[in-house]
């Protein structure tokens, strides 16, 4: 009986062993197939993500024709997601351009891109517009003597600054021996240039309603608009910090009212032309995202005297006496309006010391530090509970000679 029981037990053990073997075979086979299949599927997904990242950086943006790689490099150089390519192309928002492309390739909320912006000081480009009425004779002399050296000093410090001075139409002789024009008065350097605004008038579209373009020697509203549209001599660099500077002691177009040059500012007067010119300047600066800094000259300065009054005898007649003085407050207000609307600032000359005007310009350049973002970040936050794939791409940062790392994370 014992022997038979052992036989039955023996069979049962054999049966259990065989069933165990069958189950193990199935388990391991299914398990290994499942793992291999998911590895294959994962390989495809990874290749898909890699292909997407590879291709997206070579795609071009329609308006600028630049590749996404270049745009990210430019944005990293600028420390800004929006790059301004000047008046004809306008702004290109790198975040938006990347966003719709990555959405199209991976689907919304399935990706994240981050690229660190390196700490870089970009070039500074300045366009300056100088009122060319006789009361600006002092400024012409100052700028001629000091500006090229000032710009060179920045360059020597390793900060690439370029400035183009546009002088409004005029050309009058000054009693200090200068003329209100560029010719033969300014040392041209690779970094500083002087041009008459009429030289660029044809290439800017700031024609007034009258079709007169820049109307007077004080029309710095239309003047700065024209200077922004045409750009500096070396042309706008999309990567630079761009600044506009206006130097004047009058309202744009002029402070005269009722055609009476001696009447001075008229209380309650509308000054429609002046306002129109100011707004043309503001509009152009806003469109190109260029802040305008205004420098208000001390009214009608005599180099020997610091108060309002007669400057000197020019030609056959005496210059107007009280016009600029009477309009001081209104000019200040116009300058404030222009500066605040464009993100710039206003300066008023404190003295007639030889370095005062260039000191103000120096302050503007020193303060021209762009607000830099620490990095470019697009897409949804990376989920912690999902399987993610990360692709790393090295993006050359324009001009700087350094690379930044773009990390693209994708998940299903």
Partner 1 sequence: MKGQLSYIIKPITLVMIIILLIVLYQSISESTAKEKLAQKSLNVVSGTTDVLLVLANSYDCLAYKTATQSIYSNVLDIKRLDEFSEKYREIEPECARSYEFGWRAKIYEVGKNTQPTGAVWTFGAKDFSTDDARQDYINLSMPVAIRRSEKLVTPGKMEVTLVDGELEKLAGAIDWLCQLGKKGRLTESPFTIYTHGTIEYDTNKNYLCLTPTGSKQKNCRQMLCQLEFEGLKSAGEYMLSLKYTDGRIVIK
Positions that interact with partner 1 (CB under 8 A) = 1, 3-4, 7-8, 10-11, 14-15, 18, 21-22, 25-26, 29, 33, 36-37, 40-41, 43-44, 47-48, 51-52, 54-56, 58-60, 62, 65, 67, 100-101, 103-107
Could you tell me how many helices (H) and strands (E) the chain has, helices first? 9, 14
Distance (Å, rounded) from C-alpha 245 to C-alpha 250?
A: 15
Q: Quick one: 103 or 302, whose CB is closer to partner 1? A: 103
3-class secondary-structure state, position 346: strand
Residue 125 phi, psi dihedral angles, 5° rounding = -120, 135
Q: Quick one: 60 or 340, whose CB is closer to partner 1? A: 60
CB neighbour list of residue 165: distance below 8 Å, 6 or more residues apart: 128, 130, 143, 147, 182, 186, 192, 193, 194, 195
> Which residue, 236, 283, 291, 280, is CA-closest to 83?
236
Provide the minimum distance between the beta carbon of 26 and partner 1 in the complex, in angstroms, as a whole number.
Answer: 6
Q: Quick one: 18 or 212, whose CB is closer to partner 1? A: 18
Q: Quick one: 26 or 369, whose CB is closer to partner 1? A: 26
Residue with tokens 């000047």: 86
Q: Quick one: 14 or 212, whose CB is closer to partner 1? A: 14
Q: Quick one: 29 or 366, whose CB is closer to partner 1? A: 29
Provide the minimum distance between the beta carbon of 103 and partner 1 in the complex, in angstroms, as a whole number.
Answer: 7
Residue 247 phi, psi dihedral angles, 5° rounding = -120, 120
* CB 242, CB 288: distance < 8 Å: yes
Distance (Å, rounded) from C-alpha 70 to C-alpha 97?
A: 12
Provide the minimum distance between the beta carbon of 338 and partner 1 in the complex, in angstroms, as a whole number.
Answer: 36
Distance (Å, rounded) from C-alpha 359 to C-alpha 349?
A: 9
Residue with tokens 């009476």: 260
Give the number of other Cβ atoms within 10 Å of residue 21's Cβ: 10
Provide the minimum distance between the beta carbon of 125 and partner 1 in the complex, in angstroms, as a whole number.
Answer: 24
Distance (Å, rounded) from C-alpha 297 to C-alpha 140?
A: 11
Distance (Å, rounded) from C-alpha 243 to C-alpha 342?
A: 10
Provide the minimum distance between the beta carbon of 21 and partner 1 in the complex, in angstroms, as a whole number.
Answer: 6
Provide the minimum distance between the beta carbon of 412 and partner 1 in the complex, in angstroms, as a whole number.
Answer: 14
Q: Quick one: 96 or 373, whose CB is closer to partner 1? A: 96
Provide the minimum distance between the beta carbon of 378 and partner 1 in the complex, in angstroms, as a whole number.
Answer: 15
Provide the minimum distance between the beta carbon of 55 and partner 1 in the complex, in angstroms, as a whole number.
Answer: 4
**SS percent in the chain: helix, strand, coil, step 5:** 40, 20, 40
3-class secondary-structure state, position 114: strand
Q: Quick one: 54 or 333, whose CB is closer to partner 1? A: 54
Provide the minimum distance between the beta carbon of 20 and partner 1 in the complex, in angstroms, as a whole number.
Answer: 11
Q: Quick one: 41 or 366, whose CB is closer to partner 1? A: 41
Distance (Å, rounded) from C-alpha 58 to C-alpha 60?
A: 6
Burial class (CB in 10 A: 0-12, 13-18, 19+), 36: exposed
Provide the minimum distance between the beta carbon of 105 and partner 1 in the complex, in angstroms, as a whole number.
Answer: 4
3-class secondary-structure state, position 405: strand
Distance (Å, rounded) from C-alpha 153 to C-alpha 144?
A: 15
Q: Quick one: 91 or 303, whose CB is closer to partner 1? A: 91
């Amino acid at each position: 009986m014992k022997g038979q029981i052992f036989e039955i037990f023996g069979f049962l053990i054999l049966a259990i062993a065989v069933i165990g073997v069958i189950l193990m075979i199935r388990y391991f086979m299914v398990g290994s197939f499942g793992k291999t299949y998911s590895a294959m599927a994962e390989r495809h997904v990874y290749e898909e993500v890699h292909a997407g990242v590879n291709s997206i950086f070579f795609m071009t943006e329609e308006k600028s024709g630049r590749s996404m790689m270049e745009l990210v490099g430019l944005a990293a150089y600028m420390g800004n997601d929006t790059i301004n390519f000047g008046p004809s192309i306008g702004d290109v928002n790198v975040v938006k351009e990347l966003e719709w492309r990555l959405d199209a390739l991976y689907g919304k909320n399935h990706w994240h891109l981050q690229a660190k912006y390196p700490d870089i000081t970009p070039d500074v480009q300045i366009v300056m517009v100088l009122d060319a009425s006789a009361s600006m004779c002092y400024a012409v002399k100052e700028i001629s003597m000091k500006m090229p050296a000032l710009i060179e000093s920045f360059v020597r410090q390793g900060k690439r600054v370029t400035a183009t001075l546009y002088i409004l139409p005029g050309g009058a002789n000054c009693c200090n021996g200068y003329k209100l024009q560029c010719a033969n008065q300014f040392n041209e350097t690779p970094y500083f240039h002087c041009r008459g605004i009429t030289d660029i008038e044809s290439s800017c579209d700031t024609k007034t309603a009258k079709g007169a373009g820049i109307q007077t020697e004080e029309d710095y509203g239309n003047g700065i608009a024209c200077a922004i549209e045409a750009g500096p001599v070396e042309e706008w660099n999309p990567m630079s910090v761009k600044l506009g500077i206006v130097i004047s002691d009058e309202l744009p177009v002029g402070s005269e009212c009722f055609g009476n040059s001696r009447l001075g500012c008229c209380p309650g007067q509308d000054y429609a032309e002046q306002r129109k010119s100011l707004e043309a300047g503001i509009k152009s600066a806003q469109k190109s995202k260029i802040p305008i800094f205004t420098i208000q000259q001390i009214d009608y300065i005599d180099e020997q005297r610091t108060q309002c009054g007669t400057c000197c005898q020019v030609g056959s007649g005496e210059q107007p006496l009280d016009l600029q003085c009477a309009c001081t407050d209104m000019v200040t207000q116009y300058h404030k309006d222009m500066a605040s609307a464009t993100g710039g600032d206003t300066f008023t000359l404190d003295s007639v010391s030889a370095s005062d005007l260039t000191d103000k310009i120096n302050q503007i350049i020193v303060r021209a530090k762009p607000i830099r973002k620490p990095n470019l970040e697009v897409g949804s936050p990376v989920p912690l509970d999902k399987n993610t794939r990360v692709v790393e791409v090295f993006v050359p940062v324009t001009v700087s000679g350094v690379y930044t790392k773009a990390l693209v994370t994708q998940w299903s």
